[in-house]
Structure 1
Amino acid sequence: MTQEIGDVEISHVSTSTSEQAANTIMEIDDDANVIHNECSKGVLRKSKSGRWSSAVVKVKPLKSSWERKMRLKANLENVKKMQQEVRNKLAAKKAAKIEARKEHERRQKENERKAEIVQVIKNTEKLKKTKKKQLRRIEKRDTT
């Protein structure tokens, strides 16, 4: 099949698939923004490309606005300040807990010393006569 349009001659191959392709008409529905394909039999079919809104690839813009950048920067600074405050609070709690534990241990040792039964040796001659085992148990302390 040959067709002449002006000076150009167009030839068509008459096979069943090429006839369907030649008879396909595309319509754009303005109300729904959907492309319909009409085959030679008159059946309307939707094209798959515009079927779902999720199928459309959304591209991130190359540049964001200055106000948006400043909002993001301020938001990030606020988040960092809050994180630092939380860290400082946790560090202060930990330091207070360690300090309280040290104070408790110090008081406990002091109380143990007060509770000990101590015998003061006034005669130093006794020390010369005592055995080495006993001398090891003897502690020197300030009696004032």
Structure 2
Amino acid sequence: MKEDIHEAFIVQNEEKNCPRGKSKSGRVWKSVRTARFSAMKKDKCLTSSWERKMKKKAEMKSIKDFENRLKDERKQTLELRRKRREEHKKRREANEKKSEVVQVIKNTAKIKRMKKKQLRKIEKR
């Protein structure tokens, strides 16, 4: 009886150590599954305390608020720059109009006699 158990153990041991043939998939490096995934012992998740969670949440909220403040400040500065540029442009155009020397063409027949270059310079207001 004792010898039978010993022989069975030796046979099982030899089966484990025996080199396996090529698997159907061709992946020879894969090991044989011994236990099901559901049978494996799982660790509990790393849980944090409520206070720690709330502290982290408050910290994240403060960071988000700071980011939003920075974004708003940047937006305001860009808006101010844009407005200043527009005002400057309008002022420049107004000053150019004031300083223009204009010659009114009373005789419209002159326009028909003008050359192409002269016609390009004419502006209608």
* TM-score, with structure 2 as normaliser: 0.58
Flag structure 1 segments of 5+ consecutive residues without an equivalent: 1-61
Over aligned residues, Cα RMSD in angstroms? 1.4
1:1-144 residue pairs with structure 2 within 5 A? 62-141=46-125
Q: Secondary structure at the match of 1:139?
A: coil
Question: 2:34 corresponds to which residue?
Answer: none
Distance 1:71 1:83 in 2: 18
Distance 2:106 2:56 in 1: 80
Matched residues, number: 80
Greater fraction strand: 1
The structure having more radius of gyration, on CA atoms, is 1
Does 1 or 2 have the higher relative contact order (CA < 8 Å, sep 6+)? 1
Greater fraction helix: 2
Distance 1:109 1:79 in 2: 45
Shift of 1:130: 2.1
Fraction of identical pairs, as percent: 47
Shift of 1:69: 1.1
